[in-house]
Amino acid sequence: MGYAEVYQAAKADPNAFWMEAAKGIDWDEPPSKALFDENAPLYEWYADGRLNGCWNAVDRHVQAGHGDRVAIIHDSPLTGTTHKITYKELQDRVASLAGALKAKGVEKGDRVIIYMPMVPEALEAMLACARLGAIHSVVFGGFAANELAVRIDDCTPKCIIAASCGIEPGRVVHYKPLLDGALALADHEPEFCVIFQREQEVAHLEEGRDVDWHAFQYGVAPAPCVPVEGNHPAYILYTSGTTGQPKGVVRHTAGHLVALNWSMRNLYDMNPGEVFWAASDVGWVVGHSYICYGPLTFGCTTVVFEGKPVGTPDAGTFWRVIEDHGVKCLFTAPTAFRAIKRDDPGGALVGDYDLSSLETLFLAGERADPDTIEWAQAQLGVPVIDHWWQTETGWAIAGNPLGIEKLPVKIGSPSVAMPGYDVQILDEGGHPLKPGTLGAIAVKLPLPPGTLPTLWQAEERYRKSYLSHFPGYYETGDAGMIDEDGYLYIMARTDDVINVAGHRLSTGGMEEVLAAHPEVAECAVIGVSDPLKGQLPMGFLCLNKGVDTPAEEIVKDCVKLVRDRIGPVAAFKLAVVVNRLPKTRSGKILRATMVKIADGEDYKMPATIDDPAILDEIAEAVKSLGYGAARG
């Protein structure tokens, strides 16, 4: 069957389609049906089945005789080490860690926060939680103490698993002091913390609270897999919310495993035993879906890479990893390729490596600009596939299903809707628009398995954020169009979440931090286009009257404030002091107009602006930062 037939089959009878897909994973008790729609518009998949996530990702491959197959390759140019772990070794390590957690009281339904860099132990921690039916929440290691504290208070973990440090080019990131700082800020206290000590920095352990990763496993019986209900949460992953308060995306165990297992073959064209490399981080959704659960559940070898596309040591590091480990499919963000292209525009380093194993490059996480796609195609000589999805969906909404049918690539489009997603373009009133017309991108309910069923302890917020604007649809928050051939084009975000190097960050959250500065009366943060990172945040600061401190000092303080509160991941460096902000008469800041000015684009004078002259002042301010008309 070709793509059109498969897509129609999923649309015509979702129950039959997804029950067939469910045969690809192991069940302790099979579900009676796929879709549970009794509580619409809140849908669940495979709710009455019973299974275990760790069993599916690890133990079943050992039982099937594949224990000697490599499960994880850890490649760290930052430490100069490479380490391979077989499925059997992974089973032993995960069962031991789960046993130690169990001995300290962690059980089904408990939450565990994981705050770790790109080391195999991060995946082992996730899988140990899944083994016990505990719900993990991985927090990106680049987030500062304040952001970690917010997540501790929201999911109230029984335990936190962290590393002593992370490693960046030229510096060690002190994770343990950040964790200690977060625990001092948080209201909730975990019962204990497990610290994985890295040789690059051995952290101080707080007596009575902190235990050593290896020591606390000593002499403890390994834990078996605990079967959980199909609708039992596997994890909570926090994504930026427009209010600055992060949203805890929940992922149910069964739908998550079925969808990821299905996608490995049908979307990414993988086979068990082949090497899949998602060059992302365990703290993001790509790390959950395609560094950990997707490749392992499908029986592939997954690469855990601790490095950067450039500077570790040069722009050839991706090619070295592909050659060394026989990578078949690489999945990364366009930012990575923009960085490589900037350092090696002619692709001179590509020729130094044997890339014959590589069959495809998948890009996601932000808009893949045509220049980057064309450069990658020219250098690698393989299909470069843009695909589109969100933290909320857990896997691709739109893509090119290479395992079903290799569709023609249209540069600028992430191709077509995946089976299970009924993607439509709506006007403000919620009416479907004709092909080629720009509108809000929405997905007709129900969403397929693997997508978010709700937000953690925030059902009302889930309804309001995603379901209320267009009843009967999931609102993606993106704007775009669909052409006559059914290809989707993503044009813009419709809210204030910006995309910095594939990391979705809330400008509202940054504004809250800036507004906390004692000399800042008012502020606005917008996302401006950046050739390397896709977008960068730019801050505009209005100061209190009578402030004597030089503007440069205040800007410096504010940059440090965002770095301390949100973390270096925000890449907040552009800020300027202005006299006032452009607003509508009702007091709303005209951020969209400010973005156009900063990006050097034409704009219409907003009809509701209270003082048009202020836009000239904003233009001068962005010029001082090297943007707007001054660019180029």
Could you write out the DSSP letters of every residue in 393-462? TSS-SEE--TTT--PPP-TT---EEPTT-EEEEE-TTSPBPPTT--EEEEEESSP-TTS---BTT-HHHH
What pLDDT sits at residue 504? 65
CATH of the domain at 541: 3.30.300.30
Instruction: Report pTM.
Output: 0.86
In a domain, 432, yes or no: no
pLDDT tens column, 22-34: 999 999 999 999 9
Query: Rounded distance, CA 226 to CA 52, Å?
Result: 6
Query: End-to-end CA distance of the chain, in Å?
Result: 50
pLDDT tens column, 519-578: 887 889 999 999 889 899 999 998 887 788 999 999 999 999 999 988 888 889 999 999
pLDDT surpasses 70 at 587? no
Instruction: Give yes or no for a contact between 130 and 53, defined as CB atoms under 8 angstroms apart.
Output: yes
Number of H helices, E strands in the chain: 19, 31
More confident residue, 604 or 220: 220
Angle of CA points 95, 96, 101, to nearest 5°: 95
E strands in 312-414: 327-332, 360-363, 384-386, 398-399
Q: To the nearest whole percent, how much of the chain has pLDDT over 70?
A: 96
Q: Which of 582, 580, 518 is nearest to 553 (CA)?
A: 518
In a domain, 22, yes or no: no
In a domain, 529, yes or no: yes
Mean pLDDT, the chain, rounded, equals 93
- Which residues, other chains included, contact 161 with Cβ-Cβ below 8 Å and sequence gap of 6+? 112, 113, 114, 115, 116, 125, 193, 194, 196, 213
More confident residue, 499 or 550: 550
In a domain, 503, yes or no: yes
Which 3 state secondary structure label does DSSP give 385? strand
In a domain, 520, yes or no: yes
pLDDT tens column, 328-378: 999 999 888 988 987 888 899 999 999 999 999 999 987 787 788 999 999
Query: Rounded distance, CA 55 to CA 52, Å?
Result: 5
Query: For the chain, how many structural domains are there in total?
Result: 1
In a domain, 544, yes or no: yes
Q: What are the φ and ψ backbone dihedral angles of 210, each rounded to 5 degrees?
A: -95, 135
- Both tokens of residue 87? 């499925």
The H or E element containing residue 261 is: helix 253-266
pLDDT surpasses 70 at 248? yes
What pLDDT sits at residue 496? 66
User: What confidence category does residue 321 fall into, taking pLDDT thresholds of 50, 70 and 90?
Assistant: very high
pLDDT, average across residues 438-443: 92
Q: What are the φ and ψ backbone dihedral angles of 74, each rounded to 5 degrees?
A: -95, 115
pLDDT tens column, 397-417: 999 999 999 999 999 899 999
> What is the bridge-based pairing of β-strands 159-163 and 135-138?
unpaired
What domain range is 507 assigned to? 497-630
pLDDT surpasses 70 at 588? no
In a domain, 438, yes or no: no
Among 491-505, 545-559, 582-596, where is mean pLDDT lowest? Answer: 491-505
Can you tell me which residue has the tokens 């129900």?
446
Strand partners, 505: 498
pLDDT surpasses 60 at 585? no
**With left for phi above 0 and alpha for psi between -120 and 50, is residue 194 left, alpha or beta?**
beta
Q: What is the 3-state secondary structure (H, E, C) of 145-169?
A: HHHHHHHHHHHCCCEEEEECEEEEC
More confident residue, 274 or 503: 274
In a domain, 361, yes or no: no
Which 3 state secondary structure label does DSSP give 263? helix
Among 85-99, 324-338, 413-427, 497-511, where is mean pLDDT lowest? Answer: 497-511
What pLDDT sits at residue 292? 98
